[in-house]
Copies of this chain bind each other. A is one copy, B any other.
Amino acid sequence: VERRRLTRELIVAAALAMIDEDGLDALSMRKLGTHLGVDPMAVYYHVPNKAALFDGVVEAVLRELDDELALSPVDVVAAMTAYRDVLRRHPHALPVVSTRPIRTPEALVPFERILASFVEAGFSPPAAVTAMTCAVEYTMGHVIAEAAEPYGGETPYDPELFAGGPEPLDASARYTVGLLSLVDGLRVRL
């Protein structure tokens, strides 16, 4: 649809957009080329294969995170919440982002910022690495679970138990209280 000279950047951006809009399965190398107004095979001149394309997609998502974090220095909760928000913006990309190891040093940049926020919060450098890893893992698991629930209604518990009582927390409130518990607990334990 767009008709400019092809670029890795352009291709990756189009791929992420297609994933966001139509889901991961809707992205094929051929449709990607067609969507860019070019021969289905033209993509292969700029990207060696689909795996490399996915690496680019992960990079793009993490660059969004870095942009967010670069605006101002952030504390631990703000940094992790920014991470959560960026991931939530690309629910269909989560199987890719969560599954591919951080390969490029570029993709690593935002995590160095987050790590700094843990050190700032009083963690020693090795403790900060452990705590950040826990928090990042918690966040990824949370976001995936949230994205995996197409039918919002089901409850994995017997509603009889809650007659008249309080309700379990919604996703955002739950995320925050879990994050605080995790970080504070790790502060005293590491």
Contacts and interface: CB of A to CB of B under 8 A. Distances in A.
A65 interface: no
Contacts of A155: 129
Majority-rule SS of A interface residues: helix
A86 to B, nearest CB: 15
A99 interface: yes
B137 A142 contact: yes
A151 interface: yes
A119 to B, nearest CB: 9
Interface residues of A, number: 56
Contact of A99 (B134, B148, B151, B156): B148
B181 A181 contact: yes
A126 B156 CA distance: 11
**Most chain B Cβ neighbours within 10 Å, of A141, A166, A168, A190:** A141
A162 B140 CA distance: 27
A167 interface: yes
A138 B182 contact: yes
A10 to B, nearest CB: 27
Contact of A126 (B98, B150, B162): B162
Contacts of A166: 124, 126
A174 interface: yes
21 contacts: A95-B95, A98-B144, A98-B148, A99-B144, A99-B148, A101-B148, A101-B149, A111-B156, A112-B157, A125-B157, A125-B162, A129-B155, A130-B168, A130-B169, A133-B174, A137-B178, A138-B138, A139-B141, A144-B144, A177-B189, A185-B185
Given A111-B156, A130-B174, A138-B138, 8 more contacts: A95-B95, A98-B148, A112-B156, A126-B162, A134-B178, A134-B181, A181-B186, A182-B185
